[in-house]
């Protein structure tokens, strides 16, 4: 056995946590951009003519290329090319896609020959929405690839250490990005009178995120050299250990993988698409409060998640109970969406709105904090990147279809809504949509996720997967 002759970089708590902060900030800026236009649904409907179904199509565009197979390719790239190449590539794609989307919603695009040409085909979708969707597609490919790269990076740098805590903190930082953008996006848009202003602001932040990952890449290269020096890695890939495309079959034939993937897609389908409509839902169910006031309430959703995710990660590291956490997360999700659907419209209570948003945030802590550190327990390390990407791929199928479903259901459910018809005829900026049916659909996803979480716990007990066991073994 080769004796360890130097102190590895990740043996230093300061260095490994600095590495985490660098990659987490990239995701922080990415999550800001994902929801930069979510609080502005009413504004962009007035300025660009994006009705709820158009807004839903735009929201779904983030995932279209991923669903068409890019995430499978991303997993292969990650396992073949490594985290440094893949991370820089994904951060670059996020920035390029963001720049295209910024141009699409800016005044520079309005009235150009390009806009006229885009308006000339598929007339149900404005040219600005077409181009913004293209940019969002490219950004979405980069963002999802970055998410899997970050997960594999943390698994590498925190192997045998505080892995769940590190993943929890990374997720918490990303959630704060959602909180931040729901806080500042309406303010920037209102002060500058433009939807494009907050989009441009977040685009600049994504460039900073790219620079952060490049710095991390230099650190990771030095770390790899250390691993070679101490015999924990080789300069040339071992033919027995090198990733092969055929290894994907091992993932697809793994029942554990499919249970986790289905739990993931069902749970996240009731979270991320809901974020696109959450602020507007609060406006409508709280009797027409302003968009800024609704955003100020909704922004506490990610804070509930960010506040306790690191503690849950630490608990998982030392105590375990990951499968149990998944069950409780699904239960809280169901309760929250039913409260939004039936209790909030009847009471118009901001206290209930705040409380339910925070509880939903707690649910959003329980599930991701338990889900992602569990994947390395059921998948071999050499195909871990592909496993993460394939789970994200299955998840993206739901995230692509559900916003379109919700947007169309919302439009159809309100076709004969007298309040909506009157507001549109009067040219009012606020349209009082009825969100009951979409919220019931979200709750339905939660019920299915709950049933699969129970099955996963039974499977864990039967197969001894270790999901209920702590990550740190003393």
Please write the tens of the pLDDT for every residue from 52-64: 888 888 888 888 8
Give the C-alpha separation, 59 to 37, whole Å.
Answer: 9
Does 352 score more than 60 pLDDT? yes
Give the C-alpha separation, 382 to 59, whole Å.
Answer: 33
pTM above 0.85, yes or no: no
Give the C-alpha separation, 289 to 284, whole Å.
Answer: 8
Rounded to the nearest 10 degrees, the angle between the axes of helix 163-192 and helix 127-157 is 150
Structure-token match 């006031």, residue found: 293
- Burial class for 34, CB neighbours closer than 10 Å (0-12, 13-18, 19+): buried
Compare 369 and 134 and report the one with higher pLDDT. 134
Distance of CA 132 to the CA centre of its chain: 19
Instruction: Over range 207-236, report the average pLDDT.
Output: 82
List, as one string, the DSSP characters of 355-380. HHHHHHHHHHHHHHHHHGGGHHHHS-
Q: Note whether residue 469 is domain-resident.
A: no
CB 350 within 8 A of CB 286: yes
Residue 300: give the domain boundaries: 12-463
Phi-psi sector, 50: left (phi>0), alpha (psi -120 to 50), beta = beta
Q: What is the CATH number of the domain that holds 214?
A: 1.20.1250.20
Residue 160 phi, psi dihedral angles, 5° rounding: 75, 5
CB 357 within 8 A of CB 47: no
Neighbours of 30 (CB within 10 A): 27
Please write the tens of the pLDDT for every residue from 283-296: 999 987 887 788 78
Q: Note whether residue 1 is domain-resident.
A: no
CB 459 within 8 A of CB 374: no
453 half-sphere exposure, CB direction, 13 A CA radius:
29
Give the count of domains, the chain.
Answer: 1
Q: How confident is the model at residue 135 (pLDDT cuts 50, 70, 90)?
A: very high
CA nearest neighbour of 396 among 57, 68, 162: 68
Q: Note whether residue 285 is domain-resident.
A: yes
- Residue 303, classed as helix, strand or coil, is helix
- Residue 430, classed as helix, strand or coil, is coil
Highest mean pLDDT pick, 38-47, 159-168, 346-355: 346-355
Instruction: Over range 429-447, report the average pLDDT.
Output: 93
Q: Note whether residue 4 is domain-resident.
A: no
Can you give the pLDDT at residue 90? Answer: 95
Can you give the pLDDT at residue 123? Answer: 66
CA nearest neighbour of 27 among 122, 146, 154, 137: 146
Can you give the pLDDT at residue 2? Answer: 45
The token pair at 123 is 């007339």
For 120, the enclosing helix (H) or strand (E) is none
Give the C-alpha separation, 412 to 406, whole Å.
Answer: 10
CB 42 within 8 A of CB 283: yes
Compare 120 and 233 and report the one with higher pLDDT. 120
Q: How confident is the model at residue 239 (pLDDT cuts 50, 70, 90)?
A: very low
Q: Note whether residue 474 is domain-resident.
A: no
Can you give the pLDDT at residue 244? Answer: 60
Q: Note whether residue 453 is domain-resident.
A: yes
Average pLDDT, rounded, for the chain: 84
Q: Note whether residue 188 is domain-resident.
A: yes
Highest mean pLDDT pick, 32-36, 168-172, 198-202, 303-307: 198-202
Please write the tens of the pLDDT for every residue from 387-406: 777 887 888 788 878 888 99
- Residue 410, classed as helix, strand or coil, is helix
Q: Note whether residue 471 is domain-resident.
A: no
Distances (CA, A) of 215 to 70, 88, 126, 222: 26, 10, 40, 11
């Amino acid at each position: 056995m080769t004796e360890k002759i130097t102190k590895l970089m990740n043996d230093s708590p300061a260095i490994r946590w600095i590495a985490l902060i660098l990659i987490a900030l990239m995701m922080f800026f990415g999550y800001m951009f994902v929801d930069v236009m979510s609080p502005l649904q009413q504004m962009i409907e007035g300025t660009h003519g994006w009705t709820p179904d158009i807004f839903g199509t735009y929201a779904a565009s983030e995932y279209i290329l991923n669903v068409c197979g890019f995430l499978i390719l991303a997993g292969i790239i990650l396992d073949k090319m490594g985290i440094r190449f893949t991370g820089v590539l994904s951060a670059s794609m996020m920035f390029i896609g963001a720049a295209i989307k910024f141009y699409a919603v800016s005044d520079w695009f309005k009235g150009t020959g390009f806009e006229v040409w885009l308006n000339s085909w598929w007339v149900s979708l404005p040219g600005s929405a077409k181009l913004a969707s293209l940019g969002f597609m490219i950004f979405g490919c980069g963002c999802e690839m970055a998410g899997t790269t970050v997960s594999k990076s943390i698994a590498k740098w925190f192997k045998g250490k505080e892995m769940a805590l590190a993943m929890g903190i990374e997720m918490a930082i990303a959630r704060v990005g959602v909180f931040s953008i729901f806080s500042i996006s309406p303010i920037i848009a209102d002060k500058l009178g433009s939807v494009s202003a907050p989009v441009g602001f977040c685009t600049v932040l994504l460039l900073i995120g790219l620079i952060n990952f490049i710095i991390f890449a230099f650190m990771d290269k030095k770390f790899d050299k250390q691993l070679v020096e101490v015999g924990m890695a080789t300069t040339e890939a071992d033919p027995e250990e090198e990733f092969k495309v055929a290894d994907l079959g091992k993932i697809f034939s793994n029942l554990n993988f499919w249970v986790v993937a289905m739990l993931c897609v069902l749970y996240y389908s009731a979270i991320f698409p809901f974020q696109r409509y959450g602020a507007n839902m609060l406006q409508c169910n709280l009797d027409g409060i302003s968009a800024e006031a609704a955003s100020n309430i909704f922004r506490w959703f990610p804070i509930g998640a960010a506040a306790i995710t690191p503690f849950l990660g630490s608990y998982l590291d030392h105590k375990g109970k990951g499968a149990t956490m998944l069950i409780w997360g699904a239960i809280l999700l169901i309760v929250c969406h039913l409260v939004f659907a039936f209790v909030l419209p009847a009471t118009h209570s901001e206290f209930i709105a705040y409380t339910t948003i925070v509880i939903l945030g707690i649910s959003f802590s329980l599930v991701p904090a338990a889900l992602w550190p569990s994947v390395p327990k059921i998948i071999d390390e050499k195909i871990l990147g592909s496993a993460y990407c394939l789970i994200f791929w299955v998840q993206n199928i739901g995230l692509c279809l559900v916003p379109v479903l919700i947007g169309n259901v919302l439009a159809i459910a309100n076709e004969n809504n007298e309040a909506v018809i009157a507001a549109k005829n009067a040219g009012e900026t606020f349209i009082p949509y009825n969100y009951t049916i979409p919220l019931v659909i979200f709750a339905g996803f939660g019920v299915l996720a709950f049933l699969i979480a129970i099955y996963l716990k039974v499977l864990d007990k039967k197969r001894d997967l270790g999901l209920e066991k702590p990550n740190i073994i003393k």
